Amino acid sequence: MAVSRAVFFLAIVIPVNIAVVCWITGLRPRRFIRWVWTPLAAAAAGIAPVLVLEATGLLDGVPAFVGLIVAGTCSTLAAGGTLFALEPRARGLALPVVRKMMRRETDTAPA
């Protein structure tokens, strides 16, 4: 059942969604496809820690909620780090926020 769903999404749903996005935005598919690789790489980087945790069995004896927190945190950090490493626009949006937070911490630090 899961394989048929994956095939359905890969063969029908994703191409239709790409076609709709290209039609609505006016982007040409070739130009749109160039932008897809960075989010796909970030998604793969987000899946990788969960697969490693599962393969090594590090979370086997841990309660489900704790495992969810650990796997979710690892996945989020890996995906976010990859996205910021590969996407200059994401870095451009994130760096001012980080700098502002660092200034706030410096301002509120006790002397």
Domain span at 74: 2-108
As given in the structure block, the two tokens for residue 36 are 């897809």
The tens digit of pLDDT for each residue in 7-30 reads: 888 889 888 988 898 889 888 878
Q: Whole-structure pTM over 0.85, yes or no?
A: no
Report the chain's C-alpha Rg in angstroms: 19
Looking at the 3D structure of the chain, how many domains does it have? Answer: 1
The pLDDT of 28-47, averaged and rounded, is 85
